[in-house]
Chain A
Amino acid sequence: MYDMFQALLQAPSYHLFFEALLIIWIFKLLFFSKAYAPESVLTEKEKEELIAEWQPEPLAPEIPDDHPVLMAMENNIITGKPGKYVTINGKSCVNMATLNFLGMAGNPSVEAEAIKTLKKYGVGSCGPRGFYGTMDVHLELEDKIAKFMNCEEAILYAFGFATIASAIPAYSKRGDVIFADEGVCFAIQKGLVASRSKIKWFKHNDMEDLERLLIEQAKEDKKNPKKAKVTRRFLVVEGLYINYGDLCPLPKLVELKWKYKVRLFLEESLSFGILGSNGKGVTEHYNISPDDIDLIAASLENAIGSTGGFCCGKKYIVDHQRLSGLGYCFSASLPPMLATAAIESLRLIDEKPGMLVELRENCEKIHSKLSDINGTVIVGEPISPVKHIRLAEPSTDRDFDVQTLQKIADLSRDNKVAVTLARYLEEEEHKLPLPSIRISVNNQLSDEEIDTVFTTLSEAFQKIITH
């Protein structure tokens, strides 16, 4: 302190003068300057005028009552059971539209189980899983699914769409990277958006494109190893794609997974209960152990003929969703009668794997027959239960093609074969597939019925296209 005082006395006067000026200026800035006023402060009157002038867009655009899709829905109202035959407007048609591959939707023993459960549990479970909505039938179904798939644990959701859409954001957060196939279904796309991660799309079933992306990612990781250590990487594919009817090359995917250390999420809505000699899905089909897949998700709304979905895998992975899966924690659980219907379906599949052989044979028969229809291209593997029939020479106008296909579908429905167009939200899909008629095969079709389907569709296409 004494030294400083001495220095002050010995300093030259101009130095002291500048120091004093500086201190006065700082003082003025701190206490006496006006705050900068923004140039555009509006008066109250101007604000009121702005508020009065503003007009929002209408909440929903006016849609005419005769919009083609609305008309298609109204003309195709179903009465009665949508089993192998479906009654539309009083006419009984062969059902080639709903995803009822193993005929569980009309199965009497499944119905009997559901009614038995109804008499014990009522309809709704009246609460989410955390708050007295966990019934013993849910725990039983989770157990049975885990045993069926040879996994450690399974978790049950109340809705098929919500299953994969809640599973992906539970693990992948902002800053993580997800490699996804371009042809994945809409539920997966919504899950990817909800996760807020970086999405890298690779061309549908193109393993070289995927490897290219993985190599790029590896290069970036080398540049920034610290960040790479905390960036999780995921690979999301479907077992059997609903938009294209083809299988994913699972052996190659597993090889890439181990090589580049990405976690593999497999969505098996269309292959669970259908592929493999026991119905265990695409892992059994390719003879790969489910331990190689980090998470298998599937919907129970297709082959199993109930409602809901499940995820299965190692306990360490699946348990995380019990606290962070949004569709699990914040939603009421599956109605008990639908859970026991699923248990019964699983039991039937276990007991009679012959159903799967019948389904496969029917798929192959239909595939070979439908390839003979003039003017069409059939898309999908021969063993896939979902096939898309596209126009061989599509016009440039998508709406026109959709209308043509709708006329064909209507005509074939009038001749007692019920088919549907594959519907999409055209503006929201990542990669919109071409318009098509979607055929879904079930295992109960006899050869005569397959012939009827072929002849009716063939005639309908003939009539409308040559017009």
Chain B
Amino acid sequence: GFVPLYQTWESFYSWYVYRRIQDCFCRPVSGVPGAKMVVIDRESNDHRWSFQYTGGHSTVLNFGSYNYLGFSQNSGPCAEEVEQTIKNYGVSVCGSRQELGYLDLHKQMDRLVADYLGVEDAYTVPMGFATNSMNIPSLVGKGCLILSDELNHASLILGCRLSGAKIKTFKHNCMKDLEKNLREAIVDKQPRTHRPWKKILIVVEGVYSMEGSIVKLPEVLRLKKKYKAYLYLDEAHSIGAIGPHGKGVVDYFGLNPRDVDIMMGTFTKSFGAVGGYIGGSQALVNHLRLYSHSAIYSSSMAPGVAQQIVSSMNIMLGRDGTREGEKRIQQLKWNTRYFRRRLQEMGFILYGNKDSPVVPLLMFMPSKIAKFSRESLNRGMGVVVVGFPATPMTKCRARFCLSASHTKEMLDEALQITSDIGDLLAIKYSKAEPPSYSENDVPLVEDS
């Protein structure tokens, strides 16, 4: 007969461990995932092999969706412009960029992204995941070396594998390990043939989504310049979310964006749209326009989505004439500092930098994550919990994603709920000193 499709030992985790807590994941949502969201209630009568809908809805605080600047809105200037664009350009384009799918709207969007980042030109792709998996292969190939951080996202790992280059990982955010690997690579050259490497590419992320840590960019740039390597910076979670002007981790450290060879990012998290971009020098972008897989084999971005990106970036750059962009950035920063300070004072262990809007709260025991998730949903807050295999088995965590659209009252309610559950589950492990930073250093922009 047929060879079995799944080996039993491969499915052990998904059938016997994941299935028991499956109600904590893939919760269906109805309506816009803004500061509050409507979760559709469901229950299971057969130990979570399948779910039935009870017909009820719960409105809960949304700390699970990626909505850092609060652009996930169904009304307002962005939504109006998107509606107009759908009427003018239709719903989709049905053609790839090189085969008559290139709208003037795409050209405008590329230009705007380049202005936002401060680079020469930019190239956009309709899917964030595909930006990595389709473009890394056109930049490096066989005979090149990729040094990637051990906690990089699956899309980066897939892109690196598809390129055919040799991949070496270095310890998370450890600059000593990176330097050691760089020196060894140049001195020892390719294994077996001992030819020198054609290119060395360092792949790091701006803000790591499971850790909340910010990459040590000044050090990485220093190493990159010393050893003549190229830097690929994936700013999926940091563009729009950190930095005094919301321009990402380069802005946060006050560095020159032209120093980073390839600045990649996505529009999903901060701009309320979908898709990704790659920014860099004109030569790089021309090369991608010709040789990227997405320019030839996939249809270009839907016009409505492109307009959402254009509108939200115009607001962030202040080109709409208001201070709305600045207000959102400052609100997010204030929210981040306040939330982190209060959680640390309560005694929770948090990972990550004090400025990162991704707040992982450590729980360590895999069984506690299910209880945390169910309790918080019952009490009116939706959070994301992660366990194996996204994190090591003993470092399970709950992850809060803050947003500029959260008000102080919402944060206080969330903190109260978290504190109650923390007492219930006994996860207030921290014995550290209370934090020294405070949200009072962040000036908020008042409504005029």
Contact = CB atoms under 8 A, between A and B. Distances in A.
A335 B90 contact: no
Contacts of A78: 100-104
Contacts of A55: 228
Contacts of B299: 99, 160, 301, 307
B16 interface: no
B64 to A, nearest CB: 4
Interface of A: 42, 47, 50-51, 54-63, 65, 67, 69-70, 72-73, 76-83, 86, 88, 95, 97-100, 104-106, 110-111, 114-115, 118-127, 129-136, 139, 158-162, 165, 171, 185-187, 190, 193-194, 228-233, 261, 263, 301-302, 305-307, 316-317, 320, 322-323, 326-327, 329-332, 334-335, 337-338, 341, 418, 420-425, 438
A103 B290 CA distance: 28
A106 B92 CA distance: 9
Interface string B81-109: 01100111111111111111111100100
Given A62-B283, A122-B73, A111 B86 contact: yes
7 contacts: A55-B228, A60-B283, A65-B286, A73-B102, A98-B100, A123-B82, A133-B29
B284 interface: yes
Contacts of A323: 14, 18
Interface string B7-42: 100000010001000000111111111100101100
Given A59-B261, A63-B287, A423-B296, A81 B34 contact: no
A161 B297 contact: yes
A407 B446 CA distance: 59
B33 A127 contact: yes
Given A56-B199, A114-B91, A132-B384, 9 more contacts: A50-B186, A77-B104, A98-B99, A105-B91, A124-B268, A186-B297, A301-B92, A335-B274, A341-B91
B83 A115 contact: yes
Contact of B296 (A263, A305, A425): A425
Contact of B91 (A88, A111, A130): A111
Contacts of A65: 286
A173 to B, nearest CB: 9
B152 to A, nearest CB: 11
B18 A56 contact: no
Contacts of B66: 126-127, 332
A213 to B, nearest CB: 17
Given A59-B261, A79-B103, A161 B293 contact: yes
A320 B6 contact: yes
Nearest to A338: B302
Contact of B126 (A135, A159, A229): A159
Contacts, number: 335
B5 A232 contact: yes
Given A134-B27, A332-B268, A326 B95 contact: no
Interface of B: 1-7, 14, 18, 25-34, 37, 39-40, 62, 64-67, 72-75, 78-79, 82-83, 86-104, 107, 126-130, 133-134, 139, 153-155, 158, 161-162, 183, 186-187, 196-200, 226-230, 261-262, 266-269, 271-274, 281, 283-284, 286-291, 293-294, 296-299, 302, 304-305, 308, 382, 384
A186 B134 CA distance: 11
Contacts of A106: 90
Contact of A127 (B5, B6, B14, B65): B65
Contact of A263 (B2, B98, B103, B286): B2
Contacts of A60: 139, 281, 283-284, 286-288
A159 B97 CA distance: 15
B284 A171 contact: no
B218 to A, nearest CB: 20
Contacts of A194: 158, 161-162
A121 B31 contact: yes
Contact of A171 (B5, B102, B198): B5
Contacts of B162: 190, 193-194
A426 B5 CA distance: 35
A65 B200 CA distance: 27
Given A56-B230, A79-B103, A193-B162, A61 B287 contact: yes
A98 B95 contact: yes
Contacts of A73: 97-98, 102, 289
B28 A126 contact: no
Contacts of A130: 25-26
B30 A136 contact: yes
